[in-house]
Amino acid sequence: MLTLKGFHVIFMVTWFAGLFYLPRLFIYHLDTRDQAGLERFQVMEWRLFVIMSIGAALTLASGIWLTLWAWWPLVDGWLHAKLVLVAALIAYHLYCLRLIRQFRAGVQPHSDRFLRIFNEVPSLALVAIVLLAVLKPF
């Protein structure tokens, strides 16, 4: 089970690397004006999204396996809180896909300020998730 936990953390790091960097690419994309640069960002955003989606899928699969291994009804409240945060991250992940599609359509969906704030959301979620998993406060 410790090996599975280790892989769960590795997959989570892969997912979060994408969650940290993709919104930053959106900010750079927003500032780009030349066609070659716009096309380059579209390719970079899509490729990063695919890689982080693989990390997300493996994180979720290993997390489900760990949860079932722990016998779901006996799991403490900290895990329920963590799962709520994971659900929010999945929604964030899917919203990133929406932004990719809008950028590809030539739409600038949000302001620079919005994207800079949006960029910080995964950091806050990571802090909360790690503290819940390590401290198990309830």
Confidence of residue 68 (pLDDT cuts 50, 70, 90): confident
The pTM (predicted TM-score) of the whole model is: 0.94
Q: What percent of the chain has pLDDT over 90?
A: 86
The whole-angstrom separation of Cα 36 and Cα 113 is 24
Higher pLDDT, residue 15 or 1: 15
Cα-based torsion angle of the residue sequence 136, 13, 63, 131 in order, rounded to the nearest 10 degrees: 10
Report the helix count and the strand count for the chain, using DSSP H and E.
Answer: 5, 0
Looking at the 3D structure of the chain, how many domains does it have?
A: 1
R_g over Cα of the chain: 17
Q: Structural domain of residue 41, as residue ranges?
A: 2-135
